[in-house]
Amino acid sequence: MASALEGLRVIDLTVWFQGPVAAQHLADFGAEVIKVERPKGGDQGRGVRSIKALPVGDWNQYFLVINRNKKSMALDLKTEAGREIMYRLVERSDVFLSNLGAENLEAWRLTWEKLSAINPKLIYATTTGYGPYATTVKPSFDMTVQALTGLMSRLGEPGEPPIYLGMGSGDAYGGLLAALAILVALWHRNTTGAGQRVDASLYGAQLFLAAPTLQAWLATRDPRYAAQQSRAAARNPLWNTYRAEDQWLMLCVPNRDDAFAALAGSLDPADAGVGGDARFATAAARREHARELVAALDAAIARRTAGEWMARWTPLADRHVAASPVATLADLARDAGAWANDYLMETHCEEVNRSVTVRGMPVGLSRTPGTIRGLGPELGQDTEMILFEMLGYDWDEIGALKAKGAIP
Amino acid sequence: MSRALAGIRVVDLTIETWGGIGAALLGDFGAEVIRVDALGPSPAVGPEDERAPGTWNAHAALAQRNKRSLAVDLASTAGRELVQALVGKADVVITDRARADLLRLGLDHAALCARKPDLIYARGSGFGPQGPDADLPAIDELAAARTGMMPILPQPGRPPVFPGHGQMYTAVMLAFGILAALHHRAKTGEGQEVDASLLGGNMYGASLDLQAYLAIGGERMLRPISRLDAGNPMSGTMYMSADGPWVTLTMPDTDRWWPVFAPLVELAVDDPRFDTHDKRCGANRLEMMQVLEAAFRRAPAAHWRAMFQEHQLSADIIESYDFPAADPQVYRNRYFVEIDDPSFGPRTSLGFPIFMSGTPARLDGAAPARGQHGAAILHDLLGLSEDAITALRDAGTIAG
């Protein structure tokens, strides 16, 4: 099976999540990704031991999944000899990707100016906290940057604490945008021969992530796009969360008379009045009396289980009634569609010598699908082979590099 | 200034904002994007447009920028034939329409591949092309509800939360998949189908929570966790300040930060309850959270902002949208851009989340009026004469 990005070589000098996941997308589609790590401890992501106060278990899923399909090379970039190896690698690579601080790249002489002088065709990619023209210089993490965007303070019921979108949600987006930027830059290089510098930042990514409400807020400055809104006063009560007898449902019905009639007709006889109530007779009336309509639907929907409602509503799809139970992660892990589309996949984990379930491919390519050829590498496992086969060092030179501390 | 994707032609058959953004990401870097605006009512299934009549369409400004528009009656054979002929001259088709509609309109993969064998055909859907839900409507709320995050975003006992951002992952995935497919086509001459879905997008956005659950299992990740029951009181946590705004801390390596942080919250660095990482994140984490909860309530947000700034801590205030709107960095990086709308004058819009030094994203054109470029497109790409175009207009096959 061919891979879309076969023949591309990427130097992946990244740690934690935003940078590694960018390279993971390229590796999934066949790029050769060489993860360069410090000899002592490697990527800090290798040290993750607990998530949400739970021990991570017997395999470090945090590191192993986002570093799948990669090679690992241990290199001490604090040494002159280590940097010489890096320069030789840069000569033979298409992409250099880093999320280390600018001061590190400066100190280790791995700046854009330096590396593009070595390889003018190089794509020099960074993932940062605040972007190439940032005035903020302090360390950046996903949640502290998400806090600045305004995304968090608009979620949840009024008066509740702000809500973070989920662990690494912004990192994931920055990583994806960086991967896109790299492919765009490579396309340009393949047509013109020119390399360039690209960047995706947590701040920029998360502002774009907020588009569904932020773009509307920029246009109107209407606080309802920026502040917490109660489900009890949903602007369209038919497009809202409702609690059935046993669990929550997400109901998605457009505020149109025909669709409302279909929904109202599905309610129990005790609630038959909802459909004929003058307060709910038109779209405008339903909006005006949103609180009353939410309350009426709350009472009606609480009478039956989510399964009963889904059985009633599924046949009404052609009348614009759509709904879904609000699933848990356990439900998702069993979701037939998630498996059928390779959003979830099984793969062998060498660390525990068994098959494990991992996040799969969020993009399908019919002819060149992404593949998992192996989970994250052991620290430095490919160092000597890369030096010998790719970079042309002989075994005596490799011995000398060890003696100098450039490699472990 | 050269454009990175110059020479790539995209036919945009999207109807939802997120699908339109997927195509706009290509146009921002110089691909030629021809938007096919179908005449008649839109078959979009997302939540309705809530704009007041006669106001600026901000979402269209974002999703349709850098595109040219051809307005065509897809219900007519002549209209469909025009679109198929256009696809014959294109590299990429992108759509988020339902499969049944595409089949009915003769705009499905098989039909268009017959016109252009090396076509890249990208489709965004609700739940992906395989499996039992392949034909459910592409509604972000439905996909988010299936992802497992809605119940655990809020505090315990509160209603599930629809975050609304899942579709934005999907938009970028479509663009990424198209670029990967273009790279493959450049090497081999082969086109292919690209797919991304709202379910896949929402799942990808939930990467770390989802992967942790898959590996660890158990009950803790299925229900909301109180903010005062975090694994690390100094990382991924939030506390209210005296005047209302919340602070948030991300200092996972507490040993590194503790000597600076402890005095700020009036704790002794050698306080025996909290003097090691293991005590802070293990046996005494709940007590520490209560202590921090009280400490942060003793001073207003401005005090904490100044402290975080002065000591360069990885911590910040949880702001509202007015914060980035007033932040010069946001404009300097072009994350927000000022645009001059032909009808509404100066406006602020989301800009470009990707920086490129050599071929930066550009705003070459505002979102087009429906059918604005129809005649030019038909003339330039299909060689239609002015008379032929007039005839199509008179017959109602095209508009604008």
pLDDT at B342: 84
Angle formed by the axes of helices A169-192 and A142-149, nearest 10°: 90
A317 CB-contact burial (10 Å; exposed 0-12 / middle 13-18 / buried 19+): middle
**Predicted model pTM:** 0.98
Please identify among residues 31-60 of chain B the ones whose CB lies closer than 8 Å to any CB of chain A.
45, 47-48, 50, 55-56, 58-59
Closest CA relative to residue A86, chosen from A378, A401, A395: A401
| Angle CA B357–B367–A184, to nearest 5 | 30
**Residue ranges, chain B, pLDDT below 50:** none
Any B CB within 8 A of A45 CB:
no
The per-type count for chain B, helices as H runs and strands as E runs, is 17, 13
* Predicted local confidence at residue B48, as pLDDT: 82
> Between vectors from CA A196 to CA A194 and to CA A202, what angle results, nearest 5°?
155
Q: pLDDT of B20-76, one tens digit each? A: 999 999 999 999 999 999 999 888 998 888 888 889 999 999 999 999 999 999 999
Residues B117, B50: Cα–Cα separation, whole Å = 41
Nearest CA in chain B to A44: B253
Residues of B in contact with A301 (CB under 8 A): none
Two tokens at A296?
């009426």
Given CB atoms, is A86 within the 8 Å cutoff of chain B?
no
Average pLDDT, 10 consecutive residues per value, chain A (408 residues): 95 97 98 98 94 92 97 98 98 98 96 98 98 91 97 98 97 98 98 97 98 97 96 97 98 97 98 96 97 98 98 97 98 98 98 97 98 98 98 97 97
pLDDT at site A406: 98
Tokens read off for A322: 């759509």
Query: Is B164 in CB contact (< 8 Å) with chain A?
Result: yes
CA-based nearest distance B384→chain A, Å? 31
pLDDT at A348: 98
Instruction: Note the pLDDT of residue B1.
Output: 64
Q: How far apart are the first and last CA of chain B?
A: 31
Using the CB atoms, write b or e for A326-339: b if 16+ within 10 Å: bbbbebbbebebbb
Mutate to test the interface with B, among A97, A217, A326, A331 (most CBs of B within 10 A): A326
The predicted structure's pLDDT at residue B47: 84
Instruction: Kindly state the tokens that stand for B18.
Output: 């997120």
How far is B383 from chain A, CA to nearest CA, in Å?
A: 28
Chain B residues in contact with A166 (beta carbon < 8 A): 149, 153, 205-209
